[in-house]
């Protein structure tokens, strides 16, 4: 089984749309939004409390795919769905 993890930067509606897209793929074992343990932290600022309300929120999402080929399809579908909504996406090995 292959695990795909990514951060989505956007609105709640953006995250829900990407998650719904991934649920629509055949042979997906599991799609889950993971609580962000460092919510609101910014790498580019020593003042994490000053994050603007107008900036997108970060949603950590992981997907269990049956195999590596399906994991590639997950990455492609997630990137396309995020792009259609003008949301940012970053694939990571771990959160």
pTM: 0.79
Does residue 29 fall inside a structural domain? yes
- CA separation for the pair 75, 18 (Å, rounded): 11
Does residue 19 fall inside a structural domain? yes
- Structurally, the chain folds into a number of domains equal to 1
Please name which of 40, 16, 29, 36 lies closest in space to residue 71, comparing C-alpha atoms: 29
Does residue 22 fall inside a structural domain? yes
The residues that bridge with 90 in the sheet, in sequence order, are 7
pLDDT given at position 6:
98
Does residue 88 fall inside a structural domain? no
User: Can you give the residue range of the structural domain that contains 62?
Assistant: 15-38+57-66
Does residue 61 fall inside a structural domain? yes
The tens digit of pLDDT for each residue in 32-74 reads 999 865 555 555 554 445 445 556 899 999 999 999 999 999 9
Q: Measuring CA to CA, how many Å separate 8 from each of 2, 66, 69, 92, 95?
A: 19, 22, 22, 11, 12
Q: How many CB atoms lie within 10 A of CB 33?
A: 14
Among 6-15, 33-42, 82-91, whose mean pLDDT is lowest? 33-42
- Classified as helix, coil or strand, 23 is helix
Does residue 27 fall inside a structural domain? yes
Does residue 85 fall inside a structural domain? no
- CA separation for the pair 89, 5 (Å, rounded): 10
């Amino acid at each position: 089984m292959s695990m795909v993890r990514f951060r989505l930067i956007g609105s709640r509606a953006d995250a829900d749309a990407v998650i719904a897209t991934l649920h629509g793929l055949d042979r997906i074992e599991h799609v889950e939004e993971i609580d962000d343990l460092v919510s609101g932290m910014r790498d580019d600022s020593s003042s994490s409390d000053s994050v603007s309300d107008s900036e997108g929120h970060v949603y950590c999402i992981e997907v269990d795919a049956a195999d590596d080929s399906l994991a590639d399809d997950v990455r492609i579908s997630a990137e396309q769905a995020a792009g259609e909504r003008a949301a940012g996406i970053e694939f990571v090995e771990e959160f």
